[in-house]
Amino acid sequence: MVPINLAGKEQFTDAYLAINPRRVVPTLTLDDGTTIGEVTAIWRYLEEAFPTPPLMGSTPKDKAVVTMWERRAELEGFAAVMEAVRNSAPGLKGRALAGPHDYEQIPALAERSLLRAKHFYADLNARLLDVPFVAGDRFSVADITAVVTVDFATAVIKLPISEEQRPLKRWYDTVSARPSMRA
């Protein structure tokens, strides 16, 4: 594991560009030199290489449900939070979208994204009234995406879990206490 200092713009160095020309993290480099630079592709590789415990589901139905909830967490939560950050952080001026191209910030998107993140919290809280984990009865990649989203939202856009969102708080405390989340 090699940490990349995003605040220091290490992802733009020649050394990192040689690994991932899209200038995004994370990137998994295999022993044979193959690089995999998208989270879902990295998860797929790891799930196939290390299938126990299954984090992407074990039956066709389970795999579909996990994928559905992970995509919802990514598109409705993570994307909203990152849009808020990337369109408001002074250090990301001219870098409103990740990737190899530069885009200017749009402050109105940051405002809308905060509302989207609040809706994500409310929707996730409602989901967690019925199940212990985002995709159902077992911890999965949907929980990983959702907990990273809540971590970013609370720390960076200052959106805490409200007192009324008890199921969300219970889930967050449970998932955050896992040893893998503290690594």
Angstrom CA distances, 61 to 44, 55, 56, 137, 144, stand at 17, 14, 11, 13, 20
- Give me the percent of the chain exceeding a pLDDT of 90: 80
Question: Please, which contacts does 116-120 make with residues 24 or more away whose CB atoms are closer than 8 Å?
Answer: 116/76, 116/80, 116/83, 117/77, 117/80, 117/81, 117/84, 117/149, 117/153, 117/157, 117/159, 118/159, 119/76, 120/73, 120/76, 120/77, 120/80, 120/149
pLDDT of residue 67: 97
pLDDT of residue 183: 67
Lowest mean pLDDT: which of 18-22, 50-54, 57-61? 18-22
Q: Is the pLDDT of residue 116 over 80?
A: yes
Q: Is the pLDDT of residue 74 over 80?
A: yes
Q: Is the pLDDT of residue 114 over 90?
A: yes
pLDDT of residue 58: 95
Q: Is the pTM higher than 0.75?
A: yes
pLDDT of residue 96: 87
